[in-house]
């Protein structure tokens, strides 16, 4: 499995990274700490070397205590810190109704980073993202602050999550951006227009929700009972009767092609984007070891340019109801 370089950095990672959010946030009640730490450490043993977390990834244990995702990642990787790439994020907190509260002011960036370093148990972050664009703060201001933190040795590189082309270009002109982290999957292709910018500026595209919040695995449907109010998938449009019906042709296509490739639908979904562009690194998440193993092996599956073109041509004829707020048809 050939490693991929993250943009303009000296960070090299395997083609599939690990989105750690689900251990404590948005996928039901948080996993008990000892189980999470053990599973995350086993993920490293499988081969994962790129771990993605955020200060906003928190959940509430049944006893009312808080699960901090960064703490889980830090404890799991403490003894292999110099052999992994850890990415975390700032600038987002959650209101009681799950809406986002945004703050990317320079003082907030610095305070957030200090807290993240403490929770992670490290003195530097490899890749530090602005989690969401804050309309109150200019990109140049964010980039200047990140540049200062790089010079101070507290972060090695920086990135932007859910960025636009204009914002990215303005930020990159002040302090070069190493990676963007945007939603991307077969059902969410609206950011493909930024691919040429990534190529031009030598920026990695880290793809979150690469399986459309689990939908493309084929393991879930409108009858699935998700895990209560802390599982955000319950009300996602792809899991309604109507949304599922719209995506049925896609699932059928995935199932048939996965059988031909002797792989799972999830693996095919990941391999499709890995083989599409050398700068794409998906970060699927799972709490289960077997799924973590299977997802990682997607980096060994070859999908030819002709096969990718055929898949994309079919996707161009489809439209989906999918979480993310865009029409997924190109």
DSSP state of 4: E
Q: C-alpha 171: how far from its chain's center?
A: 21
Q: State the burial class of residue 305 (Cβ atoms within 10 Å of its Cβ: 0-12, 13-18, 19+).
A: exposed
Dihedral angle sign, alpha carbons of residues 271, 273, 275, 280: negative
Cα separation, 28 vs 231, whole angstroms: 4
Q: What span, in angstroms and rounded, lies between the C-alpha atoms of 167 and 153?
A: 25
* Catalytic-role residue among 57, 157, 167, 220: 57
Let me know if 57 is a catalytic residue.
yes
Residues with Cβ < 8 Å from 229, sequence gap 6 or more?
Answer: none
What is the distance between the alpha carbons of residues 255 and 265, in angstroms, rounded to a whole number? 6
Q: Is 132 helix (H, G, I), strand (E, B) or coil?
A: coil
Strand pairing of 179-183 and 204-208? parallel
Q: How far is CA 101 from the centre of its chain?
A: 19
CB 50 within 8 A of CB 14: yes
Catalytic (active-site) positions: 57
């Amino acid at each position: 499995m050939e490693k991929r370089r993250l943009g303009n950095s000296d960070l090299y990672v395997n083609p599939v990274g690990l989105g750690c959010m689900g251990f404590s946030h948005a996928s039901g009640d948080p996993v008990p700490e000892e189980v999470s730490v053990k599973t995350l450490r086993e993920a490293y043993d499988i081969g994962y070397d790129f771990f993605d977390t955020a200060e906003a990834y928190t959940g509430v244990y049944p006893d009312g205590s808080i699960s901090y995702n960064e703490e889980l990642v830090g404890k799991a990787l403490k003894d292999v810190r110099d052999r992994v790439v850890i990415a975390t994020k700032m600038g987002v907190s959650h209101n009681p109704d799950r809406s986002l509260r945004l703050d990317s002011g320079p003082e907030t960036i610095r305070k957030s980073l200090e807290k993240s370093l403490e929770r992670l148990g490290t003195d530097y972050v490899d890749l530090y993202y602005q989690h969401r664009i804050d309309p109150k703060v200019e990109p140049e201001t964010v980039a200047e602050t990140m540049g200062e933190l790089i010079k101070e040795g507290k972060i090695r590189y920086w990135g932007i999550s859910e960025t636009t082309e204009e914002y990215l270009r303005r930020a990159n002109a002040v302090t070069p951006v190493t990676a963007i982290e945007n939603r991307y999957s077969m059902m969410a292709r609206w950011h493909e227009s930024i691919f040429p910018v990534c190529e031009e500026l030598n920026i990695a595209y880290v793809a979150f929700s690469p399986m459309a919040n689990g939908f493309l695995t084929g393991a879930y449907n409108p009858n699935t009972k998700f895990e209560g109010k802390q599982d955000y998938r319950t009300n996602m449009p792809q899991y309604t009767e109507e949304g599922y019906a719209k995506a049925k042709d896609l699932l059928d296509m995935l199932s048939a092609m996965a059988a031909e490739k002797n792989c799972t639908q999830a693996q095919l979904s990941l391999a499709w984007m890995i083989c599409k562009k050398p700068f794409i690194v998906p970060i699927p998440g799972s709490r289960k070891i077997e799924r973590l193993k299977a997802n990682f092996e997607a980096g060994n599956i070859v999908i030819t340019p002709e096969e990718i073109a055929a898949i994309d041509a079919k996707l161009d004829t489809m439209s989906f109801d999918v979480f993310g707020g865009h029409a997924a048809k190109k």
